[in-house]
């Protein structure tokens, strides 16, 4: 005679729980993994774009500072409007 011992240690609805767990592992875990990978790639790409933007911003700031310095030297070389009014 064959003994009637439960295969899953007496857990009610054991095979059904095993099937549900198997479905989660097959379908849900890969979907979550793909979503995490996509988010990481997008985050890395945006970080690279931000670095490039920071470099271009730094170049632009340097250009503007040089322009301000050039204009400041130009203005310092010219007499003030008040000086011109006093001469008249």
User: Which helix H or strand E contains 24, and what residues bound it?
Assistant: none
Per cent of the chain over pLDDT 70 is 76
Are 29 and 39 in contact by the 8 Å Cβ rule? The answer is: no
- Please enumerate in sequence order all residues whose Cβ is within 8 A of that of 2, keeping only pairs 6 or more positions apart, or say none: none
Question: pLDDT category, 17, cuts 50, 70, 90?
Answer: confident
Over range 29-53, report the average pLDDT. 87
Residues counted in the chain: 88
- For residues 59-68, average pLDDT: 92
Maximum CA pair distance of the chain? 129
Residue ranges of E strands in 20-70: none
Residues 64-81 have pLDDT tens digits of 999 999 999 988 887 666
Above 60 in pLDDT, residue 59?
Answer: yes
């Amino acid at each position: 005679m064959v003994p009637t011992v439960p295969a899953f240690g007496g857990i009610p609805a054991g095979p059904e729980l095993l099937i549900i767990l198997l479905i989660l592992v097959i379908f849900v875990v890969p979907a979550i993994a793909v979503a995490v990978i996509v988010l990481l790639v997008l985050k890395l790409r945006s970080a690279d774009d931000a670095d490039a933007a920071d470099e271009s911003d730094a170049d632009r700031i340097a250009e503007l500072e040089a322009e301000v310095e050039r204009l400041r030297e130009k203005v310092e070389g010219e007499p003030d409007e008040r000086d011109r009014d006093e001469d008249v």
